[in-house]
Amino acid sequence: MSPLTNWKNRTKPNLNHVTGLFDNDELGAYITGHLILESVLVQLIELKLTDEDNLNPFNLSFPNKIEIAKNRLLIDDDMASFLLEMNRIRNRLAHRLREPITFEVIFNLAKCAAAGGVDFSDEAIHSCERFSRKEYGVRGIIQEIFQNAAQDLAFIMEDHGGKFQLS
């Protein structure tokens, strides 16, 4: 019997594959980056909540957090588009356990991040595929995207009187 079987149009992983995911540094970096940006979004939203709002941002889906941040003029449409694309990729990775994080996917996300206003110290990360592949690779680009996006969102938070805290 094959270790992987067809399972509702997906590959059903075996236990060895699932436990092997703990060794996937790129997946771990991506999921951690997503969680950090989600934390920043919650903190941003909390800056603009009033008692009348009667909502707990922790209970919202990620797309709803983006929508509230956008509606409260905390982020613009371009940043929202980047965050939604980042979340779409995370969902695909989370629901398709054998889905690889390819250079093409991450390089395109870097381009989307730049279009969304994420400020990179090295524009080649998102503008020169060959250089980016050689100098950064998938893991490096993931780190650059999430670090810079978190920093930019933290600056937005400061502009609105808040201070980003991880703990």
- Distance between terminal CA atoms of the chain? 47
Is pLDDT above 60 for 100? yes
Query: Rounded CA gap, 113 and 23, in Å?
Result: 27
> Considering the entire predicted model, what is its pTM?
0.85
Query: Rounded CA gap, 136 and 145, in Å?
Result: 11
Domain regions of the chain by residue span: 25-159
Q: What is the pLDDT of residue 20?
A: 59
Query: Rounded CA gap, 112 and 107, in Å?
Result: 9
Is pLDDT above 50 for 50? yes
Is pLDDT above 80 for 77? yes
